[in-house]
Amino acid sequence: MTGVTGMTGKPGKPEYRSRRLILKDWGSEEEVMQFGAEGGWEVLVDEASDIRQGIVRNVIWRVAPGLVLQYAVDSRSHCSAFVLIGSPEDSVQRLQESIERNLQPWTLKELVAAVDKAERAQGAEELYRAVLRAGIGAPRGFDKKFFTCIRRAILGNDPRLRSAGIWATAYSRWPEFLPLLTDVARQDPVDSLRRDAQIILDHYNDEQGRP
């Protein structure tokens, strides 16, 4: 999930993918596996880590024909999250609503509010985590509130905060981030941040079929 590839399963060519449902304090790996077992779902993938994908834990269950549930832990942010992938869309939405109701992952409002709270408190480490978390849990389609808080991080004075903002764009991969990433890749005073921005840009371009 870290970096440019996002949290991805390999169940074929799904028609619909939920946003990432980031767990709060709930869910050790044992509890997550028990959750899947209680659902009676078939385990399709159970990997301890995937360095290329930036995932330190990756489990995929077949919930029903054409519908899978993925659990993954991101190596950069250490967030753990569920993603639903499959069709028909209403089946994905029903299971997503069930997870939201029963496990109470971070809501969209809470993700943005956590960034605002960390900014007011001037807690650098918490702000770093909140920005990454917002990037991971952002809606699949463009959202101005998420864009604004990630943009503020990218334009900040603290290199570590800028790093969080840069990598936060890699999860949603909205084209609206391209001008910001291009500016960072060309102008940021920190060499490593310029390189990171260019890596993400290259993957954006690969996905969109551009050289």
Q: Which long-range contacts (CB under 8 A, 24 or more apart) does 71-74 make?
A: 71/32, 71/36, 72/1, 72/7, 74/1, 74/2, 74/7, 74/136
- Residue 141 reports pLDDT greater than 90: yes
Q: Which amino acid is at 18?
A: S
Concatenating the DSSP letter of every residue in 187-200 gives: H-SSHHHHHHHHHH
| pTM score of the predicted model | 0.85
Counts of helices then strands in the chain (DSSP H, E): 8, 6
Cα-flanking dihedrals φ and ψ of residue 95, to 5°?
-70, -35
What class is the 16-103 domain?
alpha beta
Convert the pLDDT of each residue in 147-186 to its tens digit: 999 999 999 999 999 999 999 999 988 999 999 999 999 9
CA 34 to chain centre: 23
CA atoms within 13 A on the CB side of 118: 23
- 82 forms beta bridges with 21, 71
> Do 67 and 54 contact (CB within 8 A), yes or no?
no
Convert the pLDDT of each residue in 1-38 to its tens digit: 443 334 443 444 547 999 999 998 655 677 788 888 88
Which residues in 2-96 belong to E strands, given as ranges? 16-17, 21-22, 42-47, 55-64, 67-74, 80-86
For residue 30, CA distances in Å to 27, 35, 146, 177 come to 8, 9, 32, 37
* Gap between the Cα atoms of 6 and 97, Å rounded: 22
In the chain, where are the structural domains located? Answer: 16-103, 108-207
Share of the chain above pLDDT 90, in %: 61
